[in-house]
Amino acid sequence: MTIAGSDSGGGAGIQADIKTFAALGVYGATVITALTAQNTREIAGIFDVPESFIARQIDALYSDLPVKATKIGMLGRKEVVCAVAEGLRRWEARRIVLDPVMLASSGTRLLREGAVDALAQLLFPLADIVTPNLPELAALLGEDLATNESAMAHQGEKLMRLGARAVLVKGGHAAGPESVDLLVDETGISRHATPRISARNTHGTGCTLSSAIAAGLAKGKSLHEAVRSAKLYLNGALLAADRLKIGSGTGPVHHFHWAGRT
């Protein structure tokens, strides 16, 4: 199940999550937290779904479907963070992947100031893994952007001390020939690297990776296995991304790259 915002352009958010679930062979259900008027160039508007209706969506799904994993994306407001946390506790949800979506690639702020502390206090303890990119990690800690793997590891460990059980520090915003993600958990630090890909279409990479991790957990993989397979899946989606001709801006990654068609 994914709890996130809807991307009307189909490249990120709920739409990217559903595509990822389908591509990896798991059934996806959705709790929509916000609607966006969005294309490949910009977010033209955001409409917040009332938190009471978000709670009704959560209750409707958990009361009927055997939810094996939950991915959390865009929440937007403190009230939504509280409603989602209450819903997850109410249904004793397991295998939770939290992608702390704070900024869109266009620069639009997707998590309001008052919601950041609530995210850490209420959802970090419930999540099996938190998956921030480098700007999100710096914002959560109130620190400068990590510029090397040592700083990435240090900030990941600091986020764990704030209550996260495990942290995947995503290095996509860094430089160098490799795209390096660091998984920080109670066992230590593991390095997950793939060649850095220069693609025009990169919209929805964070949503896709976190959804792929959730899909792996739903299929019974360990956290380390789920991260490893999700990283490889995203790498393939990026390699094939520029085969897609969607819009005039930054298009989506190719979720069904393995199928050999666009």
Phi first, then psi: what are they for 176, rounded to 5°?
Answer: 115, 170
DSSP H/E element including 104: none
The count of C-alpha atoms lying within 13 angstroms of the C-alpha of 100, restricted to the half-sphere facing its C-beta, is: 33
Phi first, then psi: what are they for 188, rounded to 5°?
Answer: 130, -145
* Active-site annotation, residues: 170, 202, 204-207
Sheet-wide strand order for 70-72: 43-48, 30-38, 2-7, 70-72, 96-98, 129-130, 167-169, 178-185, 188-195
Number of helices (H), then strands (E), belonging to the chain: the values are 8, 9
Task: Centre a 10 Å sphere on the Cβ of residue 41 and count the other Cβ atoms it contains.
Answer: 12
State the residue for tokens 């199940």: 1
Residue 50: Cβ-neighbour burial (10 angstroms; 0-12, 13-18, 19+)? exposed
